[in-house]
C-alpha cells in the first residue's frame, strides 16, 4: 500500500461514520412534528450525504500524489470531519425544542461555513484554481448565502429555501466534479 491508500482508509472511515449518522437522522425525521420543518432537515441531511460522496470521489483526483506532508493530511482530513460534525449537530437538533434546536442548527451551519472555507483553500492549493474563479467561488458563495439565511435567522419562512439551496449546491458540485473528471 502506498501513502495515499493509507490516507484514503482513514478518510473512508470518517466518511462512513458521517454517512451512517446522516442516514440514521433521516430515518428519525418521522419523530418530528410535521409543523416543525422536517423537509428542511431532510434537505440538509441529503446535501451532506451528497457532499460526503462527492468528497470521496474528489480525493481520488489526487491519488497520483507521491508526497504528503502533515498539512496536506490535515486539510484533507478536516473536510470529512466538518461534514460529519455538521450532520451530528443537525441530528442532535432533531431531539431539541425551539431555542436549543436553533442553537444546534446554528453550530451546524457554522461548521459548514468552515467547510466552505476549507474547500476554497483546497481548490486554490491542490487544483490550480484561481482566487476568484467562478467555477469554485460562485457555487461556494451561493452556499454561503443559503447557509446565512439559517445562521443569521433571517426569516423562518426562508428556512426551506436555505435547505433547498444547499441541496441544489451539493448536486451542482457533484456534477461539476464529475464533469472535470471526464474532461
pLDDT digits (tens, 9 = 90+) for 58-77: 788 788 888 888 888 888 89
* CA–CA dist 149, 125 (Å, integer): 29
pLDDT at 183: 43
Q: How many residues does the chain have?
A: 183
State the pLDDT confidence band at 83, using cuts at 50, 70 and 90.
very high
CB 113 within 8 A of CB 51: no
Query: Pick from 112, 106, 128: which is nearest to 61 by CA?
Result: 128
Q: Which set of grid coordinates corresponds to residue 24?
A: 440514521
pLDDT bucket at 15, cuts 50 / 70 / 90: very high
pTM here is 0.84
Q: What's residue 80's pLDDT?
A: 92
What is the Cα–Cα distance from 16 to 86, expressed in whole angstroms? 14
d(CA 178, CA 130): 20
Where do we find the cell 439559517? 150
Number of Cβ within a 10 Å radius of residue 134: 9
- pLDDT tier for residue 33 given thresholds of 50, 70 and 90: low
Listed as own residue / partner, the contacts of 42-47 with beta carbons closer than 8 Å and 24 or more positions apart are 42/163, 43/160, 43/163, 43/164, 43/166, 43/167, 44/90, 44/108, 44/163, 44/166, 45/87, 45/90, 46/167, 46/170, 47/163, 47/166, 47/167, 47/169, 47/170
Binned at pLDDT 50, 70 and 90, residue 82 comes out as very high
Q: Which residue has the higher pLDDT, 123 or 27?
A: 27
Q: Is the pLDDT of residue 14 over 90?
A: yes
Amino acid at each position: 500500500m502506498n501513502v495515499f491508500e493509507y490516507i484514503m482508509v482513514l478518510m473512508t472511515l470518517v466518511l462512513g461514520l458521517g454517512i451512517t449518522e446522516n442516514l440514521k437522522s433521516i430515518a428519525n425525521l418521522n419523530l418530528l412534528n410535521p409543523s416543525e420543518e422536517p423537509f428542511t432537515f431532510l434537505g440538509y441531511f441529503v446535501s451532506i450525504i451528497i457532499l460526503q460522496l462527492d468528497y470521496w470521489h474528489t480525493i481520488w483526483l489526487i491519488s497520483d500524489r507521491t508526497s504528503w506532508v502533515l498539512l496536506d493530511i490535515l486539510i484533507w482530513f478536516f473536510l470529512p470531519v466538518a461534514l460529519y460534525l455538521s450532520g451530528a449537530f443537525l441530528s442532535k437538533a432533531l431531539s431539541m425544542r425551539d431555542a436549543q434546536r436553533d442553537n444546534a442548527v446554528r453550530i451546524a451551519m457554522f461548521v459548514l461555513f468552515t467547510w466552505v472555507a476549507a474547500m476554497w483553500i483546497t481548490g486554490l492549493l491542490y487544483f490550480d484554481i484561481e482566487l476568484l474563479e467562478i467555477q469554485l467561488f460562485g457555487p461556494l458563495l451561493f452556499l454561503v448565502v443559503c447557509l446565512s439565511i439559517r445562521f443569521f435567522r433571517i426569516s423562518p419562512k426562508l428556512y426551506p429555501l436555505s435547505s433547498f439551496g444547499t441541496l441544489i449546491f451539493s448536486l451542482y458540485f457533484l456534477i461539476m466534479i464529475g464533469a472535470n473528471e471526464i474532461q
